[in-house]
Structure 1
């Protein structure tokens, strides 16, 4: 048995589908896999096995922490009480029978664009492409297309939850923060909204400053730490648990930014779309190495106590999705 499990793990690593997930022989025993014929598994079977590990890990976390509601009716009733920005950030495609939870800074732009193409709202698109968010919001955002207060909306939405293929994407949580800061707050001169947000954060966290300036990374981290309700954060740094309600939506596939090209192989095989219409592999490995380097550079400039504090703020996301804890925190102060 040990040899079979090791063979499967080696095969999974070979295909690069595990990302940052913490796996060892004990954990693989905990999440049963079809290890007997591991050396004969196809690429799609290996991807499916990886996804099963991710889903089982999430399910056990939700069960152990009593995050799961009794039924979709209970969940829907809770959603009704929420404002749009608090509801699961779900986009959909009727053509592909696909539901997609949009988790910004996790390589999700391409999925939104693909939905627009499949439903006839966008033409002439090749990855990578412009972010057509406003168009997707207008045509594909679930809560704008179905008024939750209407009687037939409940049947439509719960029916889609049960019958459409559901996906969400995650990323190493603190690495995502670096990406969000660099893209939205550090020097985003083309987006006046986020320039305003960045200046507001700087003013809030540095009251001695008398001149307008963009927020530093440390001020950005301090700002997040000052927020008591993560569910009210901007979507680009809001936790996945608040964006996607993963304990109460049974996602068919949990993709990862770290392995998104491989994950797209499996997902596109399910919805009948060519993988290259979503992601272009050229340069992806180089970009991943660059992201990891920047991740350590930005957090390397923070104090140990602050690195540990922001980790604790997002610790639930690490535990929920099986990401390995970063090495630059104080483990004795982890809550």
Structure 2
């Protein structure tokens, strides 16, 4: 190599290293669900065309209506709408949200807390939205309570934008298992989750212990036994993280304006923020949903039998029908 080329190489080498480091950093950031302020794009877009998602939202709502009509009064429980932890009523911003565990629930309850300028206003930005400083689901329920009278509830349900987020029921069961049953690195956040874990182990003939993890098929057997034969919202009372969407959010009593899906969350979120002009969320939204890797999900699901898969569909059939999911790709993974 000539001396001129050698000097040029020495000059360019630090630049190449820096560019490589930046590329690696950007790749890492893009692969995880965190909010990096200088990379957060403002998604309030003056040229945004809502029409394609408008159509999809219309079709989703139509499917909900058709399913409610099919099952009739069996899916109705209007008296539950006014219960304390059914909905989060942010009437100042005209939003009513149904929180479903393991479906971006931390994301959206924190986003609603962000809409309140007073929440943790005395703390620095780096601490305001952390769970250890109170940014939790129960705080959102406390901050945005149920209107006290039925007439005020009816008025709010007419005027506000009502929304929920769903995902494939099978993926939600995987997420529930990993977070509430299989994670031995933390004490379950609720004693009843520890009790469930112990009940699964006992049913499988195993000695309950903190370090002993029930298998995914054992967990599914427990869920199937607990949810067998349940149809209407009142049937599902007492079921925890895997309560059916229909029982949790009462879509045959609450006419949701927006049905978001985790599978299309980015575009659905963009549509909601642009069409409802949620300016504050356009830059300060929070994304806390951590998806399990595809390989982990595939490995767990492939441990199930086809009978278990079919029983999951049967027990959650209303959710599958109402939100347009099927079991085809999962049945292909199942054991005979």
User: Deviation of residue 93 (structure 1)?
Assistant: 1.2
User: Separation in 2 of the partners of 1:100 and 1:167?
Assistant: 5
Correspondence 1:134-283 to 2 at 5 A: 134-142=138-146, 146-147=147-148, 153-188=149-184, 189-193=186-190, 196-206=194-204, 208-212=205-209, 213-227=212-226, 228=228, 229=230, 231-269=236-274, 270-273=276-279, 274-279=281-286
**Against the structure 1 CA distance between its residues 164 and 126, is the aligned structure 2 distance closer, same or farther, given a 3 Å change threshold?**
farther
User: Deviation of residue 198 (structure 1)?
Assistant: 4.4
Q: Which has the larger Rg?
A: 2
Q: Which residue of 2 aligns with 1:114?
A: 111
Q: Which residue of 1 aligns with 2:101?
A: 104
Contact 2:110 2:286 in 1 (8 A): no
User: Deviation of residue 271 (structure 1)?
Assistant: 4.2
TM-align CA RMSD: 3.1
User: Deviation of residue 161 (structure 1)?
Assistant: 0.8
User: Deviation of residue 306 (structure 1)?
Assistant: 1.6
Q: Would you say 1:57 and 2:63 are equivalent positions?
A: yes
Contact 1:175 1:292 in 2 (8 A): no
Q: Which residue of 2 aligns with 1:20?
A: none
Secondary structure at the residue paired with 1:261? Answer: helix
**Against the structure 1 CA distance between its residues 170 and 126, is the aligned structure 2 distance closer, same or farther, given a 3 Å change threshold?**
farther
User: Deviation of residue 106 (structure 1)?
Assistant: 1.1
Contact 2:77 2:250 in 1 (8 A): no
Cα deviation digits, residues 5-41 of structure 1 (max 9, x gap): xxxxxxxxxxxxxxxxxxxxxxxxxxxxxxxxxxxx9
Contact 2:110 2:129 in 1 (8 A): no
User: Separation in 2 of the partners of 1:271 and 1:95?
Assistant: 14
Q: Which protein has greater RCO, CA pairs closer than 8 Å, 6+ apart?
A: 2
Gaps of 5+ in 1: 1-40, 148-152, 331-335
Cα deviation digits, residues 224-266 of structure 1 (max 9, x gap): 1111446135442111000101112110100001111111111
2:321 to 319, 322, 331: 319
User: Deviation of residue 126 (structure 1)?
Assistant: 9.2
User: Separation in 2 of the partners of 1:261 and 1:235?
Assistant: 27
User: Separation in 2 of the partners of 1:235 and 1:164?
Assistant: 28
User: Separation in 1 of the partners of 2:104 and 2:126?
Assistant: 16
**Against the structure 1 CA distance between its residues 239 and 48, is the aligned structure 2 distance closer, same or farther, given a 3 Å change threshold?**
same
Contact 2:273 2:282 in 1 (8 A): yes
User: Deviation of residue 56 (structure 1)?
Assistant: 1.0
User: Separation in 1 of the partners of 2:73 and 2:128?
Assistant: 37
Q: Which residue of 1 aligns with 2:32?
A: none
Cα deviation digits, residues 267-314 of structure 1 (max 9, x gap): 112042343422559xx9xx76x5444332211011222222122211
Contact 2:202 2:208 in 1 (8 A): no
Q: Which residue of 2 aligns with 1:32?
A: none
Gaps of 5+ in 2: 1-46
User: Separation in 1 of the partners of 2:141 and 2:202?
Assistant: 30
User: Deviation of residue 109 (structure 1)?
Assistant: 1.6
